[in-house]
Chains A and B, each alone.
Chain A
């Protein structure tokens, strides 16, 4: 039986809303990763780290 797309789960979200929210979480995590990668590159260049 295909799940009801409008069913509201205990957290107050529908399945579609949960997927949408998770998309934002993943996007935010990717942004954090890119900023962190840049910071590590700068740390490698500007500090004695790993040298």
Chain B
């Protein structure tokens, strides 16, 4: 395939950092979305015991974050 020829057009000193930055942005946005929209991720970061699947109520969404902020 010709994909390798992209480095004849895009300087690696520009393309590689851009590529990695894209991966960072994607990863941060997914983890942020999980943090805001699940109960188990904030609980994990608080060091809570892993919730059994039966315990877990509906994902509270942003409301959960407000609760966390108030508890601080």
Q: Chain A interface (Cβ within 8 Å of chain B)?
A: 9-13, 15, 17-19, 21-23, 25, 32, 46-49, 51
Contacts and interface: CB of A to CB of B under 8 A. Distances in A.
Contacts of B23: 32
A21 B19 CA distance: 14
Contacts of B50: 46-47
B40 A15 contact: no
B68 interface: no
B: interface residue count bin: 20 to 34
Contacts of A23: 4
A32 B24 CA distance: 12
A25 B20 CA distance: 10
